[in-house]
Amino acid sequence: MARPIKDTPIIWGEDAKRFTEAMENVQPLSKEEREKQKKAYELFKSRATFPMP
């Protein structure tokens, strides 16, 4: 039987302010950065020894 999932803690104070600002000011990735991340993902995926979708 699976263990119950705990509630996510609520953030307060400066952490909450930083989080809100980060969510309001999301910067899109450049095509070069997106390609770099995709290549890294494909490398890790190719080396994985467990089933991945």
Tens digit of each residue's pLDDT (9 = 90 or more) over 24-52 = 999 999 999 999 999 999 999 999 887 76
Give me the pLDDT at residue 37, please. 97
Which tens digit of pLDDT belongs to each residue from 3-19? 999 998 999 999 999 99
Beta carbons of 39 and 47 less than 8 angstroms apart: no
pLDDT at residue 53 greater than cutoff 80:
no
The alpha carbons of the chain give a radius of gyration, in whole angstroms, of 18
Give me the pLDDT at residue 21, please. 95
Beta carbons of 11 and 19 less than 8 angstroms apart: yes
pTM score of the predicted model: 0.50
